[in-house]
Amino acid sequence: MKVISIAAVAWNGVIGLKQGLPWNISEDLKFFRDATRGQMVLMGRNTFEALGKPLPHRVNAVLTRDQELSFPAGVRRFSDLAAALHYFKTTSEDAEIQNAREAGKNLFVIGGAQIYQQAMPWVDEVWLTEIEQVVEGDTTFPYYRDGKFLCAIENGAEQPFRFDRREVRAQVDLSSPFRYQFSFYRRVT
């Protein structure tokens, strides 16, 4: 099981504005949906509340220090990231997670900013929609171009991170004013 952070990030690192996305890029939403469907997702409480419900066709987990919050059936709650990662990687008590892990499913970290930051030391890959402009926002993604991750495109390697239904390429979406590309980074070992 790999731990993968997935996000859309502007040139200035912005990922959010007022607990939402500062853009509407349909291809990015489709990419996120297709990449995470059938997988396990870990998010912070604010992200869960912004979504309003568990993401369908995924194992959902929420990281929160508030033990009084109630979540819909099937949503796993964790109070710290290390415990959540250990649970996803080793549990044999949760059949759904054990089956997903045995089937080669991954754990996607889907936000918010604090969860991305906390998870970075454990992340194996970073899958991004990189938006090629500066965007106003109040939430940023942790810095990932520090030499700890290499982009499959820049590296010139085979595309082990290429998403099945889409090539890694610059996108021009006529329904969106944003130019963007899907990029896949892997941790340098």
Q: What is the pLDDT of residues 61-77, one digit of tens each?
A: 999 999 888 999 999 99
Least confidently predicted of 52-66, 136-150, 153-167? 153-167
Q: How sure is the predictor about 99, in pLDDT bands with cuts at 50, 70 and 90? A: very high
Q: Which of 67, 62, 58, 20 is nearest to 42 (CA)?
A: 62
Reply yes or no on whether the pLDDT at 136 is more than 60: yes
Q: How many H helices and E strands in the chain?
A: 6, 11
Reply yes or no on whether the pLDDT at 174 is more than 60: no
Instruction: For 37-88, list the strands marked E by DSSP.
Output: 40-44, 59-63, 76-78
Reply yes or no on whether the pLDDT at 102 is more than 80: yes
Q: What is the pTM of this model?
A: 0.88
